[in-house]
Structure 1
Amino acid sequence: MDGTPGTSDGGDGTDRTGTMAADVVVVGAGPTGMLLAGDLAAAGVPVTVLERRPRETSNITRAFGVHARTLELLDARGLADELVQRGTSITRLRLFRRLSLDLSRLPTRFPFLLITPQYEVERLLERRAVDAGVHFRYGTELTGLDQTSDPGTVAVHVQDAQGVRSTVRARYVVGADGVRSSVRTALGLPFPGESVIRSIVLADVRLTDEPDDVLAVNGTGDAFAFIAPFGDGWYRVMGWNRKRQVPDSEPVDLDEMRDIARLALGTDHGMHDARWISRFHSDERQVPSYRTGRVFLAGDAAHVHSPAGGQGMNTGLQDAANLSWKLSCAIQGHAPDPDALLDTYQAERHPVGATVLRSSGAIVRLAMAHTPLQRAVRALASHFLNLIRPAATKAMGMITGIGISYAAPRGSHPLTGRRAPDLQLVEGRLYELLRKGGFVLVAAPGEDPAAPPAPGPVIRAHWATDRRTALLIRPDGYIAWADGRLSGRSGPVRPDGR
């Protein structure tokens, strides 16, 4: 076999007896798995992606929004500008007809929410992964894992579309295979949590009358709905009716979606020609550990939450960006203590997943408020965020990912663990330099700071301004180390990178 992407046999160099397939096997070819695999392959790590579905492009998708932090990560991979051109940018979010969040104030190159279907994100990530040399095995389902029989590797038991069983081996495995993760099941890990809301209706439709706002969203207590444009004439519509709580298996049609929209928004905007309509329920769940030996979980396989805030796909992509460079450094021998470095994935991303569960849960519960007391709380919260600008900024930072930071060791510089903005450097924008896949050491021209060793290749860069604070920036755009004691202007780095 020629080993081209999409084959489901031994074309990647394996045989049916289970020789090494790759350094990393990624299970799941959704956005999380493809970003992770593309990063690893771009760093020179052999990687195979297993996907139980056949290879096909689908216009059926639940995710529809890409937040600012995710766009920064895509920018560091040279993909953001193309994606932005294909989507619709929203600079203001209006919630519950009272709350207005001005995204244009975000300290980022992407001060907006990009409305674009998940399949557009997948298309770009798949193209990058294929170009980097990722081997895809579509129509291949994981049936089991074994980490004990051969220490140092994981035996991945699979079955292809013809029912042929085989075993492939890898040094590490990442389960990015969604809420019904076969990897999580094979590990025997619990997925504690609860169902938050039942009988959500989701559809892609045409509209006769466009909403006044780009994003139409409202909750009345008995119903909530939102409408978002894909930019190509299609609109994503989601709705829920308190009086219509039925199992996911119950039939759903466009008339039901129209009824929900009229309850929540006062109009159905002339919905017609639905190309897809579905009913689902929303859970809040999180696996206790994102790592079990040489196996990791990312995206919906590790955490799932309500669609409020549009954080699902975004959180998964951010998981992948955090894990990919750590795996490549561990595999290529750059990390003095590979296990300690890989353990930081759990330490950093598990708290973020828990925070997303809380924030998205709070939004959906506010949308569902129906008692006088609950509505009063919603009105008060909306008024507070409208009035207190720092509170609104913090809320936007958490929803968009811009405000997420990681815990730093005691005694570290205050910038350590924080997201780095797109710094102005002599060598170009920071996120352009991050496309090379290494750490970036930023210093003033002529200065050579004594930075701690980085567990990977280091790119040296210099401030294009009079700033002197030295920074060591990780491949995922977070500050690993900072020193403001050098000569010249120091102190906090401004949001605009100056």
Structure 2
Amino acid sequence: MNDHEVDVLVVGAGPAGLIAAGDLARAGRSVAVLERWATPNPSSRAFAVMARTLEVLDARGLADDLLTKGQKAEVVTIFGGARIELTHLDSPYRFVLITPQTNVDAALAGYAEAQGADIRRGIEVVDLDQDRNGVTVSARPHEVDGPLVRWRAKYVIGADGAHSTVRTLVGAEFPGKTVLSSVVLADVKLARGPERGLKLGSTRQVFGFLAPYGRSDADGSWYRAMVWDRNHQVPDTEPVESAEVIDVLNRAMQTDLGVREISWKSRFHCDERQVERYRHGRVFLAGDAAHVHSPMGGQGMNTGIQDAVNLAWKLDAVLGGAEERLLDTYHDERHPIGKRVLRQSGLIARGVTLYPRVARTMRNLLLPRLLGVPFVRDAVAGSFAGTSLRYGRHGLVGTRAMPLQPAGSFTMVRKSGSAVLVRPDGYIAWAGDSAHEGWRDVLAIWSPKTSALQAH
């Protein structure tokens, strides 16, 4: 006998799991979230919220408050002084918001709970069994003695991170490799930090990256720093000394930044991995459970949130009577995006750690010139910000519908003789003549709940 029954069980209370739970609960579905750790993680590896993610958060009433808790960076300075300019983005958010992931987690937890999602912390999933009608999940308290509890759900979302238990239980391989080891993150207070935006500095031996955290006083300003030393490759368990952070950061930036204080530091390695399938019957993988990559480019948290937003409305549609095959489009649409993010982040990681002098010289000469070309500048910025990513290759269908960003329903927009049908995740499902009724056929496939259609 099952102890609990829900429409959807989410495993993992990170950004991907929480926004999926919130969206499903808002749609009227019963949702529970099981999180292994009893309290939210106080440390933050992710710190960059991209424009597309801010649009998604704004559609849920979360962006404005989050903006007060971070700092806007309109420029990312990379190799050879080349700059990724975000001020030309086709978005209300022409910048990257620098704020600790803990702030994003808190906003999304509040959203999920306000919509009625049941968040259970300190609960560890230990087994999973699915049949034609649903999934039975066995869980127990983590790190304390307690009884085994069974949950029954129609669907399960595995959003439980890079070391996903759900991924292991469904037997999904996680192929890939380590691309960087002994990378150090630290929060540092600097007397002389970058004047504007995000900055990457490197030599043949080291690299350093700085993102402003916004806290400052007469003694300096706080930054999130990332550093790496080719000649100091040690296990993740090796303690990080403050002297190491200071030395590598100053060498990478080729100046004494005047480090006043270091409040937190952590060593880690980064892999490039992606599951072959995001769907396993009634179980779906999202976020780091489905893909991990280099932190270069700040795409991890943002990609996971977009995974969840894509999946949640489709689960709601199928629970409401849409055809089961709709759920296959989650993999079809998000797997290529995940693959692109791996490639993009990997290119940046390999570019910054180039060793041959000739290759570095060519990189430093060519990249600033390329990014000075408006078309290239805007394409790179749009990919970095997530605003130019699309589902499919041609036409309006599959592109995001700006400025309209619905949350929870299909929307019909008619203008100057043309019309578009916008999905609940803000992407165009159909485009055509406003007098044409073809959108009805599309809506009947994607969502039989035509009463949810809004018109603009």
Q: What TM-score results when the alignment is normalised by the length of structure 1?
A: 0.83
Determine helix, strand or coil for the equivalent of 2:295.
Answer: coil
Residue matched to 1:105: 88
Residue matched to 1:158: 139
Matches within 5 A, 1:270-285: 270-285=258-273
Residue matched to 1:425: none
Residue matched to 2:232: 244
Residue matched to 1:287: 275
Residue matched to 2:412: 441
Determine helix, strand or coil for the equivalent of 2:388.
Answer: coil
Distance 1:302 1:268, change over 3 A: farther
Q: Tell me whether 1:35 sits opposite 2:30 in the alignment.
A: no
Distance 2:433 2:78 in 1: 41
Distance 1:98 1:211, change over 3 A: closer
Q: What TM-score results when the alignment is normalised by the length of structure 2?
A: 0.91
Residue matched to 1:219: 202
Instruction: Give percent identity, aligned residues only.
Output: 47
Distance 1:47 1:36 in 2: 9
In the TM superposition, residue 19 of structure 1 has moved relative to its aligned partner by 4.3
Residue matched to 2:346: 361
In the TM superposition, residue 29 of structure 1 has moved relative to its aligned partner by 0.3
In the TM superposition, residue 85 of structure 1 has moved relative to its aligned partner by 2.1
Contact 1:369 1:378 in 2 (8 A): no
Residue matched to 1:452: none
Distance 1:289 1:442, change over 3 A: same
Distance 2:191 2:128 in 1: 51
In the TM superposition, residue 476 of structure 1 has moved relative to its aligned partner by 0.7
Contact 1:156 1:169 in 2 (8 A): yes
In the TM superposition, residue 38 of structure 1 has moved relative to its aligned partner by 0.4
Distance 1:76 1:398 in 2: 21
Residue matched to 1:391: 376
Q: Tell me whether 1:307 sits opposite 2:295 in the alignment.
A: yes
Q: Tell me whether 1:347 sits opposite 2:328 in the alignment.
A: no
In the TM superposition, residue 73 of structure 1 has moved relative to its aligned partner by 0.7
Determine helix, strand or coil for the equivalent of 1:105.
Answer: coil
Determine helix, strand or coil for the equivalent of 1:231.
Answer: strand
Matches within 5 A, 1:186-201: 186-201=169-184
In the TM superposition, residue 37 of structure 1 has moved relative to its aligned partner by 0.4
Distance 1:273 1:343, change over 3 A: same
Q: Aligned AA for 1:171?
A: K
Structure 2 segments unaligned to the other structure (5+ residues): 217-221, 437-456
Contact 2:158 2:164 in 1 (8 A): yes
In the TM superposition, residue 317 of structure 1 has moved relative to its aligned partner by 0.4
Q: Aligned AA for 2:427?
A: Y
Distance 1:208 1:384, change over 3 A: closer
Distance 1:322 1:381 in 2: 37
Which digits, 9 at most, give the CA deviation of each residue in 1:250-287, with x for residues without a partner?
A: 11111101111111002352224322111000100000
Distance 1:128 1:247 in 2: 38
Distance 1:372 1:209 in 2: 29
**Residue in structure 2 matching 1:480, options 429, 432, 445:** 429
Distance 1:65 1:25, change over 3 A: same
Distance 1:22 1:367 in 2: 47
In the TM superposition, residue 381 of structure 1 has moved relative to its aligned partner by 4.1
Distance 2:169 2:259 in 1: 43
**Residue in structure 2 matching 1:180, options 163, 170, 184:** 163
Determine helix, strand or coil for the equivalent of 1:225.
Answer: strand
Determine helix, strand or coil for the equivalent of 1:230.
Answer: strand
Determine helix, strand or coil for the equivalent of 1:227.
Answer: strand
Matches within 5 A, 1:412-431: 414-422=395-403, 430-431=404-405
In the TM superposition, residue 82 of structure 1 has moved relative to its aligned partner by 1.4
Q: Aligned AA for 2:387?
A: I
Determine helix, strand or coil for the equivalent of 2:267.
Answer: strand
Distance 2:24 2:114 in 1: 12
Q: Tell me whether 1:402 sits opposite 2:373 in the alignment.
A: no
Residue matched to 1:495: none
Contact 2:83 2:368 in 1 (8 A): no
In the TM superposition, residue 97 of structure 1 has moved relative to its aligned partner by 3.5
Distance 1:38 1:61 in 2: 22
Residue matched to 1:319: 307
Residue matched to 2:249: 261
In the TM superposition, residue 485 of structure 1 has moved relative to its aligned partner by 6.8
Q: Tell me whether 1:80 sits opposite 2:63 in the alignment.
A: yes
Distance 1:130 1:176 in 2: 17
Structure 1 segments unaligned to the other structure (5+ residues): 1-16, 423-429, 445-466, 488-498
Contact 2:80 2:365 in 1 (8 A): no
Contact 2:178 2:271 in 1 (8 A): yes
Distance 1:395 1:348 in 2: 21
Residue matched to 1:54: 38
Q: Aligned AA for 1:267?
A: T
Distance 1:60 1:97 in 2: 32
**Residue in structure 1 matching 2:214, options 231, 244, 260:** 231
In the TM superposition, residue 415 of structure 1 has moved relative to its aligned partner by 0.6
Which digits, 9 at most, give the CA deviation of each residue in 1:212-268, with x for residues without a partner?
A: 333232122211111111223432111001111111111111110111111100235
In the TM superposition, residue 486 of structure 1 has moved relative to its aligned partner by 5.4
Residue matched to 2:454: none
Q: Aligned AA for 1:176?
A: A
Contact 2:4 2:150 in 1 (8 A): no
Q: Aligned AA for 1:35?
A: I
Determine helix, strand or coil for the equivalent of 2:215.
Answer: coil
Which digits, 9 at most, give the CA deviation of each residue in 1:182-228, with x for residues without a partner?
A: 00011111100000011001111222333333323212221111111
Matches within 5 A, 1:4-15: none
Distance 1:127 1:308 in 2: 29
Which digits, 9 at most, give the CA deviation of each residue in 1:327-363, with x for residues without a partner?
A: 1111122x1x1x2110000000000000000000001
Distance 1:158 1:218, change over 3 A: same
Q: Tell me whether 1:370 sits opposite 2:355 in the alignment.
A: yes
Distance 1:205 1:59 in 2: 17
Q: Aligned AA for 2:39?
A: R
